[in-house]
Amino acid sequence: MSSIPENILRQYQDLVEELNNHNHSYYVLDDPTVPDIEYDRQLRELQSIEGLYPDIITLDSPSQRVGGAALSSFSQIKHALPMLSLDNAFNNTELQEFERRLKDRLNSNDDIEYVCEPKLDGAAVSLLYKDGALIYGATRGDGSVGEDITTNVRTIRSVPLKLHGDNIPSTLEVRGEIYLPLSGFDALNAAALLSGDKTFVNPRNAAAGSLRQLDSKVTASRPLEMCAYSVGQYLADRVPETHEGMLSALRGWGFKINDLVETVKDIAACENYYQRLAERRESLPYDIDGIVYKVNSLQLQERLGFVAKAPRWAIARKFPAQEEMTQLIDVEFQVGRTGAITPVARLEPVFVGGVTVSNATLHNGDEINRLGVQIGDTVIIRRAGDVIPQIAKVVLDRRPENALPVVFPERCPVCQSMVRRTDGEAVARCSGGLFCGAQIKEAIKHFASRKAMDIDGLGDRLVELMVDESVIFSVADLYDLNVDKLVKLERMAEKSASNLIVAIAASKKTTLAKFLYALGIREVGEATAHTLAKNFGSIELIAKASVDELLEIDDVGPIVARYIVNFFQNPDNLSIIQALRDAGVEWEDIDLSSLEAQPLKGQTWVLTGGMEIMSRAEAKDELQALGAKVASSVSAKTTQVVAAPGAGSKLTKAKTLDIAVMDEQQFVSFLANYK
């Protein structure tokens, strides 16, 4: 910028600051400070300077909110800390049960303070700021990896491009909801009708679709807003002690915080908040589908920790399900990966819960009998949030004379194998196993999924097509594919076929845990597969394990143990595993003797703060490889705490309990001793 006159540079910087302040007042505080005509005059002046001096343009310039060149696709961003989902409570009893679990875990009967937040119905996003400047924005994705939507979030005027205020963290990851106010939604659909375009079904779909536009100018044209509700990464000298304090800090740095957020003293006050907000729901200028309750104390949040997919210290209280009446046209029976036969109701399409519903689940034969439903009946459909629509009730006084009973099949609708039901289970299953076409399709989809063998490019439709065309009959047949076989399929070009063959070949190198998960053994998820691999070391030992031996593993109960034994006693499954190994699928067995000699076996470590030299996931893997258990909270049983920059209450508690603490550099040096 050396060629830009000093007076012009100062003028430009003043305009950027002044316009950003106007934006914040208008879009975040809802308190305009200047008339629109004055804002437009200043913006034109800014754009005039940028036209004369293109090098002067900064990332936080208001002119950058109009959108840039269209993208060809979205890249991916891995979340440093997972974006977890929330458990749900659908009534006050479930909410009270939530608090009982909290108090049991805290070993305390003291009242717990909560923050109550309207659950905005939009799209969750993560925004990363470094030294106050917006670096990237990402969608939630699968919770671990999201799409890079930085260009699009820059167009949203309630998203600060640069933070202002005091004590701004050096690293700040803000999580929030991007949504479309009802007025903006109505205007968007009105414009679509005028131009003959397709209208959006609801504001949530409109917001999500707007965020995923490859042309950011389209996103910029839509009146999206964002409310911040939490943080992920946080590196700062001072850390708030409460969630309420964190929201206040975010507001001070320029973020919009929902004005209905309220801190209450106990669970009874949470219920009172629910009743008050339920009464206001229909009059709000945006859609909400419930309330989120969060434990206010960040120290208690750390003590409570997380389960696999959700924090223990938060829960979403859903509003009553939305219902509508329609006619049941037919019932079809679908077959899942484990052979489960699921009745699916085909309905006269009806608009309920913000979407048009034409199918609903009937769960199982017992549910059909309980409802007494017949084909031709008028039924009440219930849809709560994103829950699959279901038939809640039959309107018996509208039953037609030609109504027909629903007959549960005795044979699989796909392979004609006998349908069997195990004592104690509500679900009936096809007995055809991997020789059932439907089960084969679902098994292959699961096998190829990201968390299993991660075969890029092998989508659901392609799997179904290959099975229908008899190109493959099992997961093992994937490794016998070639380009010639694939290009014969409809819409499969040679380049796509070649890319898929490369991806299949790359998947041959895997881990024992991933392979176990990919096999699709009933009730064996990622965590259980990892535990089995760590405790047995090889698939041969797992295959030979008895129920009693499996029950010695912490993560395995009687039902799961029986499923594992049954799976490996099936010769067809063993032949599939051998075929996969013959095709070159391989992994390294785990040396159990080395596990016995692990130097940190029996120790419990805690990681806190924002790690800079390595990611927290990498640090956790290193510690687990050395035999340590990595916990989410500090207790008297903690052996060692690793305190990276920004460490807060965990570090304080470690010092209080006189637990050994090392910084990240010391930790890296410590690990080097075991390389």
- Residue 293 annotated as part of some ligand binding site: no
The answer on whether 131 is annotated among ligand-binding residues is no
Q: Is 36 marked as a binding-site residue? A: yes
Is 429 marked as binding a ligand?
no
Q: What are the counts of helices (DSSP H) followed by strands (DSSP E) for the chain?
A: 25, 24
Q: Binding site annotation covers 117?
A: yes
Which is it for the CA torsion 292, 297, 300, 306, positive or negative? positive
Q: Is 412 annotated as a binding residue?
A: yes
The secondary structure element, H or E, covering residue 538 is none
Cβ atoms of 427 and 367 within 8 Å: the answer is no
294 among the known binding-site residues?
Answer: yes
DSSP 386-415: TSPPEEEEE-GGG--TT-EE----SB-TTT
Query: Is 318 annotated among the ligand-binding residues?
Result: yes
Alpha-carbon span 353 to 384, nearest angstrom = 7
Comparing C-alpha atoms, which of 293, 286, 238 is closest to residue 264? 293
Burial class (CB in 10 A: 0-12, 13-18, 19+), 145: middle
Tokens 């409802």, residue? 371
Q: Nearest to residue 607, comparing CAs of 556, 646, 572?
A: 646
Residues 125, 224 contacting (CB under 8 angstroms): no
Is residue 177 part of an annotated ligand binding site?
A: yes
Nearest to 360 by CA among 324, 404, 409, 395: 324
For residue 156, give the nearest of 212, 208, 222, 203 by alpha carbon: 222
Residue 2 backbone zone (phi > 0: left; psi -120 to 50: alpha; other: beta)? alpha
119 is catalytic: yes
The answer to whether the annotation marks 436 as part of a ligand binding site is: yes
Choose, from 78, 103, 119, 495, the residue flagged as catalytic. Answer: 119
430 has binding-site annotation = no
Cα–Cα–Cα angle for 249, 253, 254, rounded to 5 degrees: 120
Place of tokens 């099936």: 570
Contact 65, 137 (CB under 8 A): no
Whole-number Å distance between alpha carbons of 365 and 409: 10
Give the type of residue at 649.
S
CA distances from 251 to 165, 227, 229, 289 (A): 10, 10, 10, 24
Q: Exposed, middle or buried by CB within 10 Å (0-12, 13-18, 19+), for 360?
A: buried
Which candidate, 4, 269, 233, 262, places its Cα nearest to that of 111? 269
- As annotated, the active-site residues are 119
Specify binding-site residues.
36-40, 85-86, 117, 140, 177, 294, 318, 412, 415, 436
Specify binding-site residues for NAD(+).
36-40, 85-86, 117, 140, 177, 294, 318
Specify binding-site residues for Zn(2+).
412, 415, 436
